Structure 1
Amino acid sequence: MKKIGVLVSGRGSNLQAIIDAIKRGYIKDAEIAIVVSDVKDAYALTRAREARIKAVHVDPGSYRTKDSYEEEILRLLQKEGVDLVLLAGYMRIVGKRLLDAYHNKILNIHPALLPSFPGLHAQEQAFNYGVKVTGCTVHFVDEGIDTGPIILQRSVPVLEDDTPETLADRILKEEHKIYPEAVKLFIEDRLTIDGRRVRIR
């Protein structure tokens, strides 16, 4: 049984997608051991508690440095025996302390087809640029911003009557499909990183 830790900052809809995928048996031999948020009132913590998952708020403002803040997160993850870390709307750049401890064991979901439109407000970036197709990406996390090796992508057309909000809603629906799929592949040891490429067995 592999244990998953999830880092969150917001409403946690992707967290819910993972919870549901485990509950219905799509993701087997895995459980979410802990959910950690840097935001005290993040709704993701409520989702975790409702699913009887340990939910913890770690206030970055209580720590003098980023390293000491991440040291506490690492302590919590390791205490629960976490094998895989998921970022689900976590609005902080993961630092060296966590990256070293969980090398190639941290996944993120991004609402654009990377390497296009990295960083914040990716849906709005894509909309304003005028692309005809955008989407979402699950990738391994490295020291850059949305630069790690790509695991899965799903395309979403930009419709003529779209707004940034309607586009974001349609992208989110695809996120809820491919994030559980990527987690399933990781749990089943079907992912191999070969340079920039992630090979799926």
Structure 2
Amino acid sequence: MKKILVVVTNHATLGNTDQANGTFAPELTHVLNELITAGYDYDIASIQGGKAPLYGTDMEGDTVNADILADEGFLNRINNTIPVSQVNGEGYDAIFYPGGFGLLSDLATNEEFAQISANHYENGGVIASVCHGPSALLPITLSTGDKLLASKSVTGFTREEEVDFGTINDIPFLLEESLARSAAQYTKVQPWQELVIVDERVITGQNPASAHGVGKALVDLLA
């Protein structure tokens, strides 16, 4: 059975504000729905371990989100995430970083998960992310000394979407700018439209609307 390591943030607010945040639930649940439907298993990990903060848990009309959030197996995993100190990346077929503004405050600079992801990728594994999830790809450095993104075409949450969402003044940094500076190519479409880019074994999605597509691309790549 294929198994995916899902890495989520421990940071529970939007930047340094007191606005509740964390992982944006639909970007996690819609990908998990694709993985579960395909018969794959998963673990959820974070830097500190323990209960991980979620927001977007009450999206009206989103039955996929509601069903996963009510699943006992999911609840056990998200409330008891594996700390990075106990993660063995060799046991997984892919690593997935769901989005949420919290990542900008911890996973975007975390060297431990970056090293796990680098080893995973160099051993033939797949790395996927969506929305703000690609921020966790920024610190990944390969054994050659090159950044993973230096040779990759990627996408991620855009400046326009930050403005639309009202977060442009509160985020620790602008993800679009960081990806454009770090990646071989950064691409975006109109705000809130779906965009999924697959570059060899790296999958990125622009925004929440892209989560389903990221999950599908991940299943297709692992098939």
Answer 1 or 2: higher relative contact order, Cα 8 Å, separation at least 6: 2
TM-score, normalised relative to structure 1: 0.49
TM-score, normalised relative to structure 2: 0.46
